[in-house]
Amino acid sequence: MREVVEKVDLAFEVNGDSVRLAVSPDATLAEALRDDLELNGTKTGCEEGECGACSVLLDGKVVNSCLVLALECGGKSVVTIEGLAREGRLHPMQEAFVNHGAIQCGYCSPGMIMTAYALRLENASPTEAEVRRALEGNLCRCTGYRKIIDAVLSLNNGESRHD
């Protein structure tokens, strides 16, 4: 059990804003985001790295926020699903998910979108095989993945590349 322990200061950047918080040393990044910052878009489906629902970017790399200690993020930059839309407009990846029917219950969607977003930061026009590999750690029980893969591929210069 986690007894009440003294909280420790944490300063980091979330979605471009600098944030200061006091967290307990055992808090995960997912907990800090959800419980302290009310960034509930980040979901938890397993808390052991198996489902990807909690995926966020940590210094530009996609990670499972359930497997990161909040205190590890001191001085680092975190991007969550709430950080993608600009001026009330969906990010193209979010729009692609909406328009391709890649969202059903939506519980996996924030993690999926963040993972796909991270892929495209490194690879502007991934092949279908690359998309499948990038999303291999994100479970979805509703869609069967086809429309998710199609949504990601649709951003390749507006058309998909099959291989």
Partner 1 sequence: MSAMKMYQAPRTLEEVMRAAGETGATIFAGGTDLMPRWSKEIVPRPAAVVDIKAIEGLSGIEVTDGEICIGACTLMSGLDESAALRRAAPILAEAASRIACPQIRNRATLGGNLCNASPAADTAVPLIALDAVVDVAAPGRAGATSREVSITDFFQGPGKTALEPGEVLTRVRFKRPAAVATWAWEKFGTRPAMEIAVASVGVIVEASDGVIERARVAYGSVAPTPLRGHGAEAALVGRRLTDETIGGCVAAARGEISPISDVRASAGYRREMVGVMLRRMLEDARGG
Partner 2 sequence: MIKTSGDTGTVNKRGTDQESLIGGRIPKLDAPEKAVGLTRYLDDIKLPRMLYGKILYADRPHARVVDIDTSPAAAMYGVRAVITAADIELVRFGFGSDNTALKGEKVTCIRDEIAAVAADTPEIAGEAVKRIRVTYEDLPVVATIEEALASGAPVIHEGAPNNVPFRFDYDHGDIDEGVSQSDVIVEDTFSSQRVAHCCLGTSGLIAHFGPDGRLTLHSLTQVPFLYKHDLSRIVGVPPEKIRVIQPPIGGGFGSKLDVHPFEPICVFLARATGRPVRMVFTREEEFFATPTRQPMVIQLRSGAKRDGTFTFRDVRMTLDNGGRTSWGATTPWISMRTFSSLYRVPHVRQHVDVIYTNNIYACAFRGYGNPQATFALESQIDKLAHELGMDPLDIRLKNAQEPGETTGQGMVLGTCGLADCLKTAAHNAGWDVKHSGPQKPVGKSRRVRGLGMASLFHVGGGAKIYRSDGCGTILQIDDFGGVTVQTGASEIGQGSETVIAQIVAEELGLPIENIRVVNNDSDLKPWDVGVHASRTTFIAGNSALRAARQAKGKLLVAAAEKLNREPDELDLAKGNVVDRETGEPIESIGKVLRGMHFGRKNEMIQATEFYEPPSKMPDEGHKGDISACYAFGTHVAEVEVDLDTGVVRVLGISAAHDVGRVINQLGIEGQIEGGIAQGIGYTLTEEVKVEGGRVVNPSFTDYKLVTTHEVPELKLEFIETHDPAGPHGAKGVAEAPLVPVAPAIANAVYNATGVRMTDLPLTPERVLAKLNESREAERGATDG
Ligand X SMILES: Cc1cc2nc3c(=O)[nH]c(=O)nc-3n(C[C@H](O)[C@H](O)[C@H](O)COP(=O)(O)OP(=O)(O)OC[C@H]3O[C@@H](n4cnc5c(N)ncnc54)[C@H](O)[C@@H]3O)c2cc1C
Chain residues in the site for ligand FES (CB under 6 A): 44-47, 49-54, 64, 66, 103-109, 140-143
Taking CB under 6 A as the criterion, which residues in 35-54 touch ligand X?
Answer: 48-50
Question: Is the Cβ of residue 58 or residue 103 nearer to partner 1 in the bound state?
Answer: 58
69 binds partner 1 (CB under 8 A): yes
Is 26 near ligand X (CB under 6 A)? no
Q: What angle do CA 15, 110, 22 make, to 5 degrees?
A: 45
Residue pair 45/53 in contact by the 8 Å Cβ criterion: yes
- Is beta strand 61-64 parallel, antiparallel or unpaired with respect to 17-23? unpaired
144 vs 119: CA distance, rounded Å? 20
Residue 130 CB coordination number (10 Å): 17
Which residues contribute to the site for partner 1 (CB under 8 A)? 1-3, 5-6, 8, 24-26, 28, 47-50, 52, 55, 58, 61-64, 66-69, 71-72, 74, 115, 118-119, 133-134, 136-138
Which residues contribute to the site for ligand X (CB under 6 A)? 48-50
